[in-house]
Structure 1
């Protein structure tokens, strides 16, 4: 069963179809984007339903129905867990877990003796717990925190090493100061632009060797931005080095980690088996984020990362963005983000992938090159 098209890709194709010029048919747009004509008609019909222009079940209603069924199954599972947990707790000897319950019942007027008898708990351990609910370790940490706070207020220039003293080790003092955000007033040196580059989360596995022997062997990714009258629009694209094809992208008005994650999910969804593929990027915060690294692991991809301020470490991706800048972004002033988005996806799917021939590919387009060199790759991938 073929993988479903990413939702962002479907919405972009529908946008292009709705804003098509006179003389351009739905069949031509479907061909340009590599989808079947009937598939595009189904997408347009569903979009009309979602917009309220046509009767039917909206995508949101379908999603809510699936979520409701999922919640019902989850509740059934949770009820089974609670049923078995009740039987387990009735047999287990877990007195300290019940002591707070005994106190709450006593506040509601139920005698302690009754609660202890029903719960089969002893009286003396309960009153011993009432007398000292805080453990000795917690009490010691509180005393240490008070001592550190007094020393910090007395001289804010001191860091945790000077605050530690003789009553605790440096590591303990650092842990308490970190949890309470007690830092020395002296800040650390910053970079030239006010921000220090973050540490790499991957090694550089590419070393500026932008070559691949097969599809899904090496991907490059980066983010570009462009102004519109409504504000900036951000594009995160993923390029397959083998055929220079953009295998996944995501467009948004915010440059967050989610932008890079969506682009990677879209690429993996359209390409199928991508395990072992290297994904090379710069050291931007979006590509160092926990969400992006988790997405790499989920698809069994291998991360790679260049140096700070070294454009040559991702030169092949920069060349694509320069081509996009010249052919689309700088051609005119864009009034809305939606207008620029349609122009980007139209140029990408219609011209770059299917009409623009590249000398490196033997005067073939990326689609033609993949079809000839690797027929197993579907045109709709």
Structure 2
């Protein structure tokens, strides 16, 4: 039972975009082999703000997604960036890029995959609505289809129950000050 005599902790997350981003990498099978997808999601509206694909699992993949997110969103210092403890996110280059922009680094506890569940939910949605229904011949075909899904459907159209059944783009517009 909570001791109500003690004050609650401060609310560190704001009520708008660019307060907390989650990041992770997943993989998609093609006839050429694995295609890796790195995403960065603004957790306020579950909007994919950065993404990149590559044929290898390396720090350049994660950095490409981060650079896309930074270019598109231009967040103010103080944004919280959350990721797992993968080598891509622990790399000197990746963490230096975060610090250069005044972004606070948050990482999952060792062996804890649950505190980045919104990004995991995005990957499950992408795979159930696109990837598991399609056999991609090439990595290029898969990358193009993923790009169309993210940019043409997921962000502007796909409704989310957690967002009062609106799309991420519409939710951000509706909540803009």
Scaled by the length of structure 1, the TM-score of the pair is 0.42
CA distance in 2, matches of 1:371, 1:363: 14
What is the SS of the residue equivalent to 2:57?
A: coil
Higher relative contact order at CA 8 Å, sep ≥6: structure 1 or structure 2? 2
Give the structure 2 partner of residue 223 of structure 1: 25
CA distance in 2, matches of 1:215, 1:232: 32
CA distance in 1, matches of 2:122, 2:76: 22
1:349 aligned residue (151, 156, 172) = 151
The structure-2 alpha-carbon separation of the partners of 1:310 and 1:273, relative to structure 1 and needing over 3 Å to count, comes to: closer
Matched, 1:259 2:61: yes
Q: Mind listing any 5+ residue stretches in structure 1 that lack a counterpart?
A: 1-208, 376-381
Q: What does 1:15-30 align with in structure 2 at a 5 Å threshold?
A: none
Q: What does 1:192-203 align with in structure 2 at a 5 Å threshold?
A: none
1:250 aligned residue (44, 49, 52) = 52
Deviation at 1:274, TM superposition (A): 3.2
Give the structure 2 partner of residue 314 of structure 1: 116
What is the SS of the residue equivalent to 1:357?
A: coil
CA distance in 1, matches of 2:21, 2:149: 21
CA distance in 2, matches of 1:324, 1:215: 22
* Structure with greater proportional helix content: 1
Give the structure 2 partner of residue 288 of structure 1: 90
CA distance in 1, matches of 2:46, 2:30: 28
Deviation at 1:308, TM superposition (A): 2.5
Q: How many residues align?
A: 166
Give the structure 1 partner of residue 101 of structure 2: 299
Assess if the C-alpha contact under 8 Å between 1:278 and 1:302 holds in 2.
yes
Assess if the C-alpha contact under 8 Å between 1:212 and 1:241 holds in 2.
no
Give the structure 2 partner of residue 279 of structure 1: 81
Scaled by the length of structure 2, the TM-score of the pair is 0.89
Q: Mind listing any 5+ residue stretches in structure 2 that lack a counterpart?
A: 1-10
Deviation at 1:297, TM superposition (A): 1.0
CA distance in 2, matches of 1:332, 1:252: 19
The structure-2 alpha-carbon separation of the partners of 1:261 and 1:290, relative to structure 1 and needing over 3 Å to count, comes to: same
Deviation at 1:234, TM superposition (A): 0.5
What is the SS of the residue equivalent to 1:334?
A: coil
Q: Which runs of 4+ in 1 moved over 3 A?
A: none
Assess if the C-alpha contact under 8 Å between 1:250 and 1:259 holds in 2.
yes
Matched, 1:234 2:40: no
Q: What does 1:79-118 align with in structure 2 at a 5 Å threshold?
A: none
Deviation at 1:212, TM superposition (A): 4.8
